[in-house]
Amino acid sequence: MKGAFEGVAVRSPDKLANVENAVGSLAKGLFDNMFNWLVVTMNQEILPQALKSPTPAQLTQFNMTTQTVGLLDIFGFENFELNQFEQLCINYVNEKLHNLYISSIFGAEKK
């Protein structure tokens, strides 16, 4: 009897770095899809029943009178072996953006 795998292409294992990159890419893709699904689902849930199939005029009126929930995503997927000047700059700008966002939101709430 000949070998059970005769005629089947033989593959060698991939390098660990390639596997880690593939797993990271898959995780980022899953996170992105899950986040987008969550946003769409939340928007559908908070939409009034009367606007589930809105006319353009109803949608315009809804957009002009509706309060919103804001989400600011300032985090990235940086993964440095050693934090250098570039990471310091990124962190500094993120903190400045965060402070600007918070002060704008609370300033508007105070008014």
Q: Are residues 80 and 47 in the same domain?
A: no
Q: Are residues 44 and 82 in the same domain?
A: no
The number of distinct structural domains making up the chain is 2
Q: Are residues 6 and 37 in the same domain?
A: yes
pLDDT band at 1 (very low <50, low <70, confident <90, very high): very low
The candidate with the shortest Cα–Cα distance to 32, out of 69, 78, 77, 93, is: 77
Please give the residue range of the domain that contains residue 84. 72-111
Q: pTM of the entire structure?
A: 0.40
Residue range 56-101, pLDDT digits in tens? 887 777 767 765 555 555 555 556 677 777 777 877 888 888 888 8
The candidate with the shortest Cα–Cα distance to 74, out of 40, 106, 97, is: 97
pLDDT of residue 25: 93
Average pLDDT score over the chain: 76
- Say if CB 58 and CB 51 are below 8 A apart: yes
62 assigned to some structural domain? no
67 assigned to some structural domain? no
Q: Are residues 39 and 81 in the same domain?
A: no
- Say if CB 54 and CB 62 are below 8 A apart: yes
